[in-house]
Amino acid sequence: MLAISQRGLAMPASPIRKLVPFAEAAKKRGTKVYHLNIGQPDIETPKAILDAVRHSEFKVLEYSHSAGNESYRQKLVQYYHSVGIEVTSQQIIVTTGGSEAIQFGFMACLDAGDEVIIPEPFYANYNGFAIAAGVKVVPVTSKIENGFALPPISDFEAKITPKTKAIVICNPNNPTGYLYSKEEMHQLKALIIKHNLYLFSDEAYREFCYGGEQVSAMHLKDAEQHVIMMDTISKRYSACGGRIGALVTKNQAVLDAVMKFAQARLSPPSFAQIAGEAAIDLPADYFDTTKAEYLLRRDVLVKRLNAMEGVFCPNPGGAFYAIAQLPIDDADKFCQWLLEDFSYQGETVMLAPATGFYGTAGLGKKEVRLAYVLNLHDINKAMDCLAAAIKVYPGRASV
Amino acid sequence: MLAISQRGLAMPASPIRKLVPFAEAAKKRGTKVYHLNIGQPDIETPKAILDAVRHSEFKVLEYSHSAGNESYRQKLVQYYHSVGIEVTSQQIIVTTGGSEAIQFGFMACLDAGDEVIIPEPFYANYNGFAIAAGVKVVPVTSKIENGFALPPISDFEAKITPKTKAIVICNPNNPTGYLYSKEEMHQLKALIIKHNLYLFSDEAYREFCYGGEQVSAMHLKDAEQHVIMMDTISKRYSACGGRIGALVTKNQAVLDAVMKFAQARLSPPSFAQIAGEAAIDLPADYFDTTKAEYLLRRDVLVKRLNAMEGVFCPNPGGAFYAIAQLPIDDADKFCQWLLEDFSYQGETVMLAPATGFYGTAGLGKKEVRLAYVLNLHDINKAMDCLAAAIKVYPGRASV
C-alpha cells in the first residue's frame, strides 16, 4: 500500500467547501440556495480592469519576472503610497493570490516545529498552510461578547514558548469582521518587539472599513523588520479568480528568501497582472461606491440577525463577514440541516459553521459565519429563511 | 535578530536566473544577448487561445472550482484520450502551472525526511520543491556519453533506503532532451512495483519528440496506483505566463489528499483556464508545425555544436533542450564570462551552467544547457558567438 504523507492526512478539508455536496443536492431538488458561506462577492469586477486584459496585445504569453512585472510593482508602489504605506518596488513580491503570499511567508520564516500564535476564530486556510509547512498554530481566543476584539496581550504572552516565531493577524478580520484599533495595533507592536517575533498581517480587506480607518501593520514605526504584509486583489476589486496577491515587507533577508521560493515556481499569472495594474488607475470613487454597498448590506444583515430571538451578532467594523451566535446545538449539524432538510418558500441559505475557524476543539459550536456578498434583496430573502429555520430546527437550544 | 527558516536558507537560488544581472549589464553596454538559457519559447502563443480570453464575457472574475473548471477538465479528458491516456475529469486536478502540480504531489505523498530518487541532471526546481517539503533528493547520475539515457536500474536500487518513497522523472527530459524508451519505462515500472514507490512523471514536453513516440507513465499497465503525472500548458502551447498545469493520477487517496491542498489555495487562475480550454480545440496540425520548427532548430544547434573543436552534444530525442560538453574549466565561470567579458560583433549568448542541474556536487562543470527556443537565424548567430568564445576563453581546457 502506497502511503499518503502525514501532512497530507493532517490537512483539513475546507470547512467552507465541505458542505458543497449538500448544497448541490438541494439545488437538484429545486431548492434555491443563498450562498452566504463563501467570500465570493457578487459585486461586478470593474469593467476597466477586465477590458485591460481583453484589449491586451502581445504575441507570446511569457513568464513574467518571478517577483511580478516591474510595471505592476511600480503601480503598486503608488497604490500603497495612497494608503500611507511607503515601499519600493523591490519590497513587493507579486504572488499567486494572497494564498501564496501566506505560504511564502511561512516557508521563508518558519521551520517544522515552529509555532505561530493566531487569534481565533481565524481564516481556516492559515491552518492548512501551517500544516503544509510543518508549523503548529497556537490559538488565542477572541470572544463574541466583545465583538472579537484583540484578546488581552497577557493571553498571547501565556502562549509564547521558545518555538514561537510569529503572530498572524487578519485586519479587518475574516471571519469576524473585526477592525483592530490603533491601540490594539500598538499593543501588538510592543509584543512583537519585546519577544522578537514576526507579525504576519493579512490585509486583504483594507478598503472595507465602516466607521474607522484601518491601521496597517506597515504603519507601525520601528517594527519594519518584523512586519510581513500579505495582500491580494481578490476582494478589493472583486477579482478572486485572477489569483494575484503580494507579499510586502521591508525586511531584506525575508525578501531574499521569499524570492527563492518565487523563482522555484517561476512567475505569478500574467493575465491577471494586467488586470491588477489597470486597477490602480480606477477612479478614486471606486471604493466609496463598493464600500457604501457593503455597508448597507452589513447594516441589514446585522439588524435582521439581532431581531431573531436568541440570536446575537456583534456589529463588524470591516471586511464583509459577520459571526452570529444562534440558539442551536451544533453549527455543523445546523448548516447541513439547512441544506438537507429545510426550505422556506422553496429556498434556503448556506452558512459556514464557525467551528472550522477555531483552532481550539469545541469552540464555535453555536456560531456561524455569514459573508454579506449578495445584494440586499437576496440578503433579506436569506434572512427570511434563517429566521424561519431557527424556529423549527429540531436541535434548537438556548444560547 | 529575526531568523530566516532553515529551509529558506537552504532553498537554492535559480541556477537559470542567477546570471540575469550580468545579462542586464551586458545589454546596458549595448551588447545583444541571445537567450538560450531559459525555456521561454519565442514561438507565438496560438492566437485562438489568446482570443478566447480576449473575447470572454463575464461580469465577475470568480474563483473557479479548486480542482479547476469542470468544463476545462472535461476538455482535458478529450486531450488525454488523444494521447492514449484514459482518465476521468475527477482524476485531473488543474494546478497553477506544472510547478504547483509538483508541489502538491510532493506535499501529499512525502513527509519531511523522506527521499526521492531523481536521475541527474534534473530540472533544478525539483530540488527547491523538495526543500520546501523537507524532502531529500537522492540523485542517480545519467551520463552524457550515452546521451543521458536512463541509468542502470541497479544504480537506482543501490540508492533505495527505507525512506525512499518515489522516483521522479521528466520525459522527454529537461534539461537533457532525452526521451525514455518503452523498454526504459518498463524497467521503471518494474522498479516502482517491486519497491512500492510512487513514480512522479513530469510530461510537460510530451508533444515534442523527434524520432520516437513518448511513452507516458500513465500508459504503464498495473502501475496505475503508483503513477502521478505532472503536466502543464506552458511549453505545449507556448503559454508559460498562463500558469496552468495539472496533476493527473488514478490513485484516489492521492487525489483526495491533493484536493485538500488545492482547496487551501482556493483555485487556479481563471483567465488562463479559458485559454487552456480553447487550446484543446486547436487544429490537429498545430503540434506538427511547432514540432517541425523545433526539430529544425535542434538539428542546426546540435550540428553547429558538434562542429566546434572539443565540443560534444548528444542528439536529444525530445523537449527543446540540449546539454553540451565544452572544452572549459568551469561552466559557471564561462557563462558569466560570456556576459561580462566577451562579445562577438557586438553580440553574446546566455547559457545555463549544467552544474545547477546536478544533485551531486562537482558534476557538470564542463557542461551547459542550451534551450533552442529562438528562431534559426538567432540560433546560428548564438552559435557564431559560442564558437568564437570557446577559442578565446581564458579558462579553455581539454575535455
Residues of B in contact with A196 (CB under 8 A): 1-2
Phi, psi for residue B55 in degrees, rounded to 5: -95, 5
The pLDDT assigned to B397 comes to 87
Taking residues B228-234, what's their average pLDDT? 98
pLDDT in tens, B153-178: 999 999 999 999 999 999 999 999 99
pLDDT at position B399: 58
DSSP class of residue B247? Answer: E
- A84 pLDDT band (50/70/90 cuts)? very high
- Which residues 344-383 on chain B approach chain A with CB closer than 8 angstroms? none
- Closest CB to B8: pick one of A14, A125, A257: A257
Residues constituting chain B: 399
Strand partners, B32: B347
pLDDT tens, residue by residue, A159-191: 999 999 999 999 999 999 999 999 999 999 999
**pLDDT of res. A14:** 81
Residue to test with chain B: of A271, A273, A373, A375, most B Cβ within 10 A: A271
Rounded Cα gap, residues A303 and A370, in angstroms: 13
Q: What percent of chain A has pLDDT over 90?
A: 94
Instruction: Please judge whether B14 and A253 are an interchain contact, meaning their C-beta atoms are less than 8 angstroms apart.
Output: no
Domain B47-279 has CATH 3.40.640.10: yes
State whether residue B146 sits within 8 Å of chain A by CB. no
Domain boundaries in chain B?
Answer: 6-44+286-392, 47-279
Say how many Å lie between the first and final Cα of chain B, rounded. 47
Pairing of the two strands B115-120 and B164-170: parallel
Flag whether pLDDT at B14 surpasses 90: no
A14 contacts B264? CB cut-off 8 A = yes
**What is the per-residue pLDDT for B347?**
98
Nearest CA in chain A to B252: A4
- Min distance A335 CA to chain B CA atoms (Å): 20
Alpha helices by DSSP H, chain A: 6-10, 20-28, 47-54, 70-82, 97-109, 125-132, 153-159, 182-194, 252-264, 270-279, 286-306, 331-340, 376-392
Using CA atoms in the order B332, B334, B339, B345, what is the torsion angle rounded to 10 degrees? -160
Q: Chain A: nearest CA to B16, how far in angstroms? A: 10
Nearest CB to B6; choose among A43, A100, A111: A111
Is it the case that residue B17 has pLDDT exceeding 80? no
Q: Is B59 on the interface with A (CB under 8 A)?
A: yes
User: What pLDDT band is residue B18 in, cutting at 50, 70 and 90?
Assistant: confident
Average pLDDT over residues B232-243: 96
Average model confidence (pLDDT) across chain A:
96
B308, B312, B314, B318: CA torsion to nearest 10 = -60
Name the one residue in this structure whose C-alpha cell is 517544522: A112
What is chain B's mean pLDDT, rounded?
Answer: 96
Average pLDDT score over residue span A79-94: 98
Nearest to A237 by CA among A43, A38, A80, A376: A43
Instruction: Give CA–CA dist B112/B109, Å, rounded.
Output: 10
Mind giving me the DSSP string for B179-241? Answer: ---HHHHHHHHHHHHHTT-EEEEE-TTTT-BSSS----GGG-TT-TTTEEEEEESTTTTT-GG
SS3 state of residue A144: helix
Q: What is the pLDDT of residues A242-276, one digit of tens each?
A: 999 999 999 999 999 999 999 999 999 999 999 99
Distance CA A26, CA A20 (A): 10
pLDDT tens digits along B85-102: 999 999 999 999 999 999
> Which residues in chain B have their CB less than 8 angstroms from residue A50's CB?
58, 61
Selecting from A96, A165, A225 the residue whose C-beta is nearest the C-beta of B96 gives: A96
Q: Give the integer Cα–Cα distance in Å for A16 and A13.
A: 9
Q: How confident is the model at residue B15 (pLDDT cuts 50, 70, 90)?
A: confident
Closest CA to A40 of A372, A296, A386, A333: A372
Whether pLDDT at B40 is above 90: no
Q: For position A1, what pLDDT does the model report?
A: 66
DSSP lists the bridge partners of residue A170 as: A202
Which of B215, B252, B255, B340 has its CA nearest to residue B67?
B255
Query: Could you give the C-alpha distances from A386 to A36, A339, A394, in angstroms and in order?
Result: 11, 11, 14
Confidence grade of residue A399 (pLDDT, cut at 50, 70, 90): low
Instruction: Find the CB nearest B45 among A50, A59, A240.
Output: A59
Q: Nearest-CA neighbor of B109 among A108, A11, A130, A15?
A: A11
- Min Cα–Cα distance to chain A from B55, Å: 7
pLDDT higher than threshold 80 for residue A15: no
DSSP letters for A52-106: HHHT---SS-----TT--HHHHHHHHHHHHHTT----GGGEEEESHHHHHHHHHH
Say whether pTM exceeds 0.90.
Answer: yes
Q: Quote the pLDDT of residue B1.
A: 66
Q: Residue for cell digits 579553455?
A: B396
Distance of alpha carbon A397 from alpha carbon B356, whole angstroms: 63
Residue A18: count other Cβ atoms within 10 Å of its Cβ.
17
Q: How confident is the model at residue A13 (pLDDT cuts 50, 70, 90)?
A: confident
Which of A38, A112, A253 minimises the CB distance to B134?
A112
Q: Is the pLDDT of residue B13 over 90?
A: no
Quote the minimal CA–CA distance from B185 to chain A in Å: 20
The whole-number average pLDDT for the span A96-111 is: 97
Q: How far is CA B113 from CA A90, B13, B107, in A?
A: 34, 22, 12
Contact flag A240-B66 (C-beta cutoff 8 Å): no
CATH topology of domain B6-44+286-392: Aspartate Aminotransferase, domain 1 (3.90.1150)
| Helix, strand, coil shares, percent, chain B, to 5 | 40, 15, 45
At B183, phi and psi to the nearest 5?
Answer: -65, -45
